[in-house]
Structure formats: structure tokens, C-alpha cells
Amino acid sequence: MFIPDEINELYAKFADAVYRPNVLDGKIKELIALSDSVMADCVPCIEYHYRRAVKAGASKEEIAEALAIAMSVSAGSKQAKYTPVVDRLEKE
């Protein structure tokens, strides 16, 4: 890989710490990671976190709801960002 081994090792330690159950359990963390993967538009991440969410006990319904939230946030961000632009252009 193009990233130095030292950096990869630091990332692995960071990721291990982030995904370790703490205040949030593993299933919730994976549902968040799955939603974030959609927002990041990372197909390998979606595949990875989908499998981990299922392994952590997430139901298809929980996964669907988490993905719907990500899609809603994405659509809302586009609406908030571009509505003022279109409004301004319509006034020109």
C-alpha cells in the first residue's frame, strides 16, 4: 500500500479504539459507520460496515432505517446548499 506501515499501524490502533464498545455498543457503532459510509460514498466501506452491522446483530430493518437517515441528511444538505443559489438565479 502507498501509505507507510507506521501510519497504517497508527490508523489500525485508532480504528480499534473507536470501534471498541464503550458508551455506544458495537451494533450502534456499526450502524453509524454504515450511514457514514453512505455519506462518504465509499462502496468498500458500505460493504465492510454492512457485514459488521449484521454480525453485531443489526436487523435488516435497523440497517434500512440507518441508511434512510443518511439519505435524508444527504438530500437535506443539498436542499439547504442549493435552494439559495436557485432562488438567487431566479431573481436575476
Q: Would you say residue 10 lies in a domain?
A: no
Dihedral (C-alpha) 43, 44, 45, 50: value to the nearest 10 degrees?
Answer: 90
Q: Would you say residue 18 lies in a domain?
A: no
* pLDDT confidence bin for 1, thresholds 50/70/90: low
The rounded percent of the chain whose pLDDT value lies above 70 is 99
Domain limits for position 29: 23-91
Q: Would you say residue 37 lies in a domain?
A: yes
- Which CATH number fits the domain that encloses residue 57? 1.20.1290.10
Mean pLDDT of the chain: 95
Q: Would you say residue 64 lies in a domain?
A: yes
Q: Does residue 21 or residue 72 have the better pLDDT?
A: 72
Q: Would you say residue 39 lies in a domain?
A: yes
Q: Would you say residue 66 lies in a domain?
A: yes
Q: Would you say residue 5 lies in a domain?
A: no
pLDDT in tens, 19-58: 998 999 999 999 999 999 999 999 999 999 999 999 999 9
Q: Would you say residue 45 lies in a domain?
A: yes
pLDDT at 3: 87
Q: How many domains does the chain have?
A: 1
The rounded percent of the chain whose pLDDT value lies above 90 is 96
CA 21, CA 25: separation in Å to the nearest integer?
A: 5
